[in-house]
Amino acid sequence: MARPPPPWINVGRPGYKTVGYFTNWGVYGRNYQPQDIPAEYITHILYSFANIRPTGEVFLTDTYSDLEKHYPNDSWSEPGTNAYGCIKQLYLLKQQHRHLKTLLSIGGWTYSPNFAAPASTPRGRETFARSAVHLLADLGFDGIDIDWEYPADASQAKDFVILLKDVRRVLDEYSATHLGGKRLLLTIAAPCGPDNIRKLRIGDMDPYLDFWNLMCYDFSGSWDKNSGHMANVFHSGRGEITPFCADGAVTMYLNGGVRDPRKIIFGLPLYGRAFEGTDGPGGGFQGVGEGSWENGVWDYKDLPLKGSREVVDPRLMASWCHDPVNRKMVSYDTPEVAAMKTDYVANRHLGGAMWWELSGDHHVSHERSLVRGTAERLGRLGGLDGTENTLYYPLSRFENLRRGCV
């Protein structure tokens, strides 16, 4: 049952949010299970990803990982229809850590092309909203996260606003009927590229959202002509070194209609992007080489690469490692830069930090864990969000979730 909360949690009160993406495919090769989530340092989990049918229906993408995988304490002979897999384990984490809220994240890069068609019609939007909230009620979530990368034009941007309005309405209807009006969460993954930001109707979206998760990473990578920083806060003055900057994105959202800076959650990478055949940021490169799980992308816990030297540029709030012999560079956040970014969040009065994605970090017992370092620092600066999660799901088809997994 519930464990005593750590001292950095503001029990029952708001505070800084620490938001972590958990992927349902991570249980396989990466062997990162829900039990590995450092729940004492996390206030919100974004469970990734659900997909969208052409009708607008939201559906789960891996029923084995989501609902069927049996963990050591799961029964094989429990009567009735019961949830297992990651869904049950997330519910158990919520029981143990009452500050931990979970959101079903819909879309992501791979599934984002499936948003536009259903979002363009009233029927598609209504189907989306009702099926998303049905999954929330069925699976034990505290909210919905929409990761549409990205609305392509003014028409899709308008559709996005109406989609958010419809989801907010159905969330509120469900809560009014079954939860006494308790707030259910609606968030989005928000771009940091200026062209993508300009397309959004930020001021129209903001009233429906509880917070915006800014993807302050992937500013540079294999698609570029030069090696560069992929998660810098400030510009260098040279576009080939810093194609984008997070500070500029934050300012665009605040100027564009986000009414409270505490609704902006600053995204941080738990991975690095690699460049080969390069002498450092701004130079040419020849390929990206191998990675932890895909070419050119290294888990943070595998960095710095052997033979490399870590370099920090405090002016940009950026860091990287470079091997001058093999001419390999990886752009990523070191603990020193993560601490700088945490102070930036506090100094700009933002709402907290978000990570893509949790399996990339060291275990929180490791001295270089970015999640622990950031969460503890935010805890000292004002405490972490301790508003209580929801455990009551009377409409779930799963008997163990309806009765609270007792």
For helices 335-347 and 370-381, give the axis angle rounded to 10 degrees.
Answer: 30
Percent pLDDT > 70 in the chain is 100
Arithmetic mean of pLDDT, 177-205: 98
Does pLDDT of 405 surpass 90? no
Task: Please state, rounded to an integer, the average pLDDT across all residues of the chain.
Answer: 98
Q: Cα–chain-centroid distance for residue 298?
A: 18
Amino acid 240: pLDDT: 84
Q: Which of 57, 68, 149, 240 is catalytic?
A: 149
Domains of the chain: 9-215+382-402 (3.20.20.80)
Residues 6+ apart with CB under 8 A from 150: 112, 191, 196, 199
- Quote the pTM value: 0.98
169 near 176, Cβ under 8 Å? no
Q: What is the mean pLDDT of residues 288-299?
A: 98
- How does pLDDT run across 100-125, given as a tens digit for each residue? 999 999 999 999 999 999 999 999 99
| Confidence at 3, pLDDT banded by 50, 70, 90 | confident
What gap in Å lies between CA 356 and CA 155, rounded to an integer? 29
Taking the C-alpha atoms of residue 162 and residue 167, their distance in angstroms, rounded to an integer, is: 9
- Across residues 36-43, what is the average pLDDT? 99
Give residue 384's pLDDT.
99
Determine whether 149 is an active site residue: yes
What is the per-residue pLDDT for 238?
A: 86
How would residue 1 be classed by pLDDT, with cut points 50, 70 and 90? confident
